[in-house]
Amino acid sequence: MTPSQYLNCFLAVQAREWQRFWQQRTRFASALVRPLLWLLVFAAGFRAVLGISIIAPYQTYITYETYIVPGLCGMIVLFNSMQGALSMVYDRELGSMRVLLMSPLPRPFLLITKLLAMGLVAIGQVYVFLLIARLIDVETPAWGYLAVLPALMLTALMLGALGLLIATWVKQLENFAGVMNFVIFPMFFLSSALYPLWKMQEASPWLYWLCQVNPFTHAVETIRFALYLQWNTEAYAITAGVSLVLATLATAAFRPQRTRILGTRR
């Protein structure tokens, strides 16, 4: 297969994902309600409770809304990637997965292309969210919107691959409610998305340790630093490393017979 054939395949998967997005734009719009509730209601309520000290990458005191925006960007990608990965294995995407897997291109390439395509649609939602955040005065440097793109893509790949791995191999978590309770919520709450980790360290060293080993923490920090045009080598390296490992595992371990792609699951 030639490079142009790989490119045509990549573009076709992207095009289909955006066509579906356009068909289901009301569903995608309603998915924005969740992070906006956090930003407009939760953050307003907790603003007075949680004082934020000056921590990198911020150079001054910030509002709580400003603090949680990167975490909410991560949350949008987290929900979308998990939901997308599950749909590849169990429901809406089964037909398209059958067609996808009949392509003569290598299966790992096809799966990663699919995960990235779903991730890019989620990233589109992140940008709409950032635009709304800007309207309520959560401003980031203009170039930050561009600088954050690679961080968001890495996060989408990491979480999509994790979702695919879980959906393929953990039979008990074959519905979204299960994944929400046992994967999404623990990952989200045990991270720096809603509170800086020094606060968690004061509360419980154990919880702090769990937050530190949670790759979502590092994904959120990658997004946070990139939004403010700063480079967090540690967070980037961990997010990239975990993405690479999970993407390799998820694609190498993918077995259609462990999904509903063939009709029934064994």
Q: Which residues bind another protein (CB under 8 A)?
A: 1-2, 4-6, 8-9, 11-13, 15-16, 19-20, 23-24, 94-96, 98-106, 110, 255-257, 261-263, 266
Distance CA 197, CA 193 (A): 9
Exposed, middle or buried, 124 (CB in 10 Å: 0-12/13-18/19+)? middle
Least distance to another protein from the beta carbon of 85, Å?
18
Nearest residue to 199 via CA among 39, 46, 34: 46
Least distance to another protein from the beta carbon of 120, Å?
16
CB neighbourhood size of 4 (10 A): 8
Distance CA 145, CA 124 (A): 12
Residue count (the chain): 266
CB 80 within 8 A of CB 121: yes
Least distance to another protein from the beta carbon of 234, Å?
38
Residue 29 or 131: the one with the smaller Cβ distance to another protein is 29
Residue 248 or 257: the one with the smaller Cβ distance to another protein is 257
Residue 34 or 92: the one with the smaller Cβ distance to another protein is 92
Residue 124 or 186: the one with the smaller Cβ distance to another protein is 124
Least distance to another protein from the beta carbon of 159, Å?
24
Residue 65 or 93: the one with the smaller Cβ distance to another protein is 93
Give Dmax over CA atoms of the chain in angstroms.
59
Least distance to another protein from the beta carbon of 20, Å?
7
Residue 103 or 230: the one with the smaller Cβ distance to another protein is 103
Four-point Cα dihedral 70, 72, 78, 81, nearest 10: -90
Least distance to another protein from the beta carbon of 104, Å?
4
Distance CA 73, CA 151 (A): 11
Least distance to another protein from the beta carbon of 28, Å?
13
Residue 5 or 175: the one with the smaller Cβ distance to another protein is 5
